[in-house]
Amino acid sequence: MQTLVLTVVLTALVAKVITEVWLIVLNMHEVRQRQNAPPKALREVMDEPTYRRSVEYTLAKSRFGLFGEVYGALVLAVVLFSGLLPWTYDLLGGGPTASVWREGLYLIVVMTLLSLPGLPLDHHAQFRLEERFGFNNSTVRLWISDKIKGLILVVGIALPLLAAILFLIDWIGSWWWIWAFVVFFIFQLAMMVLYPMLILPWFNKLTPLPEGELRQRLMALADRTGFRAKTIQVMDGSKRSGHSNAFFTGFGRFRRIVLFDTLIEQLSEQELEAVLAHEIGHYKLGHIPKMLALSAGLGLVSFALLAWLLQNPTFIEAFGFRFAESGPGPAFVLFALLAGLFTFWLSPLMNRLSRKHEYQADRFARENGPGAGPMTSALRKLSEKNLSNLTPHPRYSTFHYSHPTLLERETALSIHDGDSSA
C-alpha cells in the first residue's frame, strides 16, 4: 500500500508538471504566431512598439514560468522522497505526546523552510524580469522587509490557529474536523475585517481619497447603487510595482473601497467610475457570499479528508514517518504539500465560474456606471499599461485566467446580453 501511495503522488506530480509545461509552450507558440500584429479587433489597444513589448514581456514570463515549474517540482520531490520531513519532525521533538504548540511549530518551520528555495526565483522575478520591463519600483531593503513581516505574521497568526485546530483533535475526538472547519471559517471571516485595518497598513500606506470631483463622483456611484462604503482609500501600490488594481475589503459597516495610486494616475475619472462600478457589481450580485460558500464547501471536504488521512497509517508511513510515534503534524504537512497536485485539475471549473462573475460585473458596470464606453476604454488602458497578453492560447487561459480576455470582455460589453458563459 505504501508503494501505491508513492506511485499515486509521483504520478500526480509528473502529470501536473507535464501539463503545466505543455500549456506554457502552447501559449508561447500562440503569442509568437501573432507577434507582428494584434488581432484586428484590438489594433487600437496598443501601438506597434507597445504590442511588441507586451509580446516580449509575455514570452519572458513564460520562459521564467517554465523554469519555475520544473524547479518547484524538483524541490517538492526532494522534500517528499528524501526523508527530510521525518528527520525534521524528529529534530523538533514531535510525537503523540508533544504539545499542540510543538506540532504547530513543526508545520510553521517546514513551510518556512520550503519557501527558502523559492526566494531566488522571487528575487529574480522582481528585480530582473519586472525591472527589465519597467514595473519594479521596490528596493531590496523593502523586499527583505516584506519577507520578514510575512514570517512574523505567519508565526503570530497561523501558529495560534494551528494550535487551536490541533487541540480540537484531542479534545473532541473523531468529529474534530467539523469543529476545526468552524474555527477556520470564523477565522477567515474575521480576517476579512481585520486585514485592511491591521495587516494591510503594515505593508502599505492607506490614505483617504481627497475631497474633490473624483471622490464626489465615486461616492455618488456608491450611493446610487446602494453600496454604502465607509470610506474610499488610496493605497501606495506604486512603491512596489507599476501594476494597478482596485478592490474592496470587509463587509457591513467595515466595508472599504481601495484604489491603487497607479490606477488613479492611469485612468480618467469616468473610467475610474466604471472600474468601481465593476467592483460594486461583484458585491451587489452576490459574488462574494457565493465564493465564500464555495470556499466553505471545499474547506469542509478538505478537513474531512484530512481527518481520514490522520487515521490511515499507510499515508504518512509511505513518506518515512512512524505512525505510532507521530502526532497529527506529519499528516497536516503532507496534506498541505500534496493538495495542490490534485486541486490543480479543478482550476478550469473555478476559472469558469470566476469569468462568469466577471462578465456579470461588467454588465452591471455598463448598466449602472457611466456606460460601456468608459468601461471598455478602462480595460484597454489597463491592458496597455500592464503589457497584458492580448492573445493567450484558449487552453492556457482555461487553466490560468480567472478573468476573460480583453477581446472577450469587449465583445460581451458591446452586446445586449453581456452575461456570456463562453
Residue 275: CA count within 13 A, CB half-sphere: 25
Q: Which of 30, 273, 317, 362 is catalytic?
A: 362
CA distances from 218 to 62, 244, 278, 368 (A): 37, 18, 12, 12
Per DSSP, the three-state class of 4 is helix
- Reply yes or no on whether 362 is catalytic: yes
Could you tell me if 66 and 24 are in contact, meaning their C-beta atoms sit under 8 angstroms apart?
A: yes
Could you tell me if 68 and 121 are in contact, meaning their C-beta atoms sit under 8 angstroms apart?
A: yes
Contacts with 345 (C-beta within 8 Å, 6 or more apart), sequence order? none
Secondary element (H or E) of residue 128:
none
Strands 246-249 and 206-208: unpaired
CA distances from 175 to 74, 170, 184, 398 (A): 36, 10, 15, 37
Q: What is the DSSP string of 168-198?
A: HHHHH-TTHHHHHHHHHHHHHHHHHHHIIII
Contacts with 204 (C-beta within 8 Å, 6 or more apart), sequence order? 235, 236, 237, 239
Could you tell me if 62 and 28 are in contact, meaning their C-beta atoms sit under 8 angstroms apart?
A: yes
Amino acid identity at 418: G
The residue whose grid cell reads 454604502 is 228
| Phi, psi at 35, each rounded to 5° | -70, -20
Crossing angle of helices 287-310/347-368, nearest 10°? Answer: 160
C-alpha grid cell, residue 212 = 474633490
Q: Give the integer Cα–Cα distance in Å for 330 and 105.
A: 12
Q: Which of 20, 103, 273, 279 is catalytic?
A: 279
Q: Let me know if 302 is exposed, middle or buried by CB neighbors in 10 A (0-12, 13-18, 19+).
A: middle
- Reply yes or no on whether 47 is catalytic: no
Could you tell me if 246 and 258 are in contact, meaning their C-beta atoms sit under 8 angstroms apart?
A: yes
Catalytic positions are 279, 362
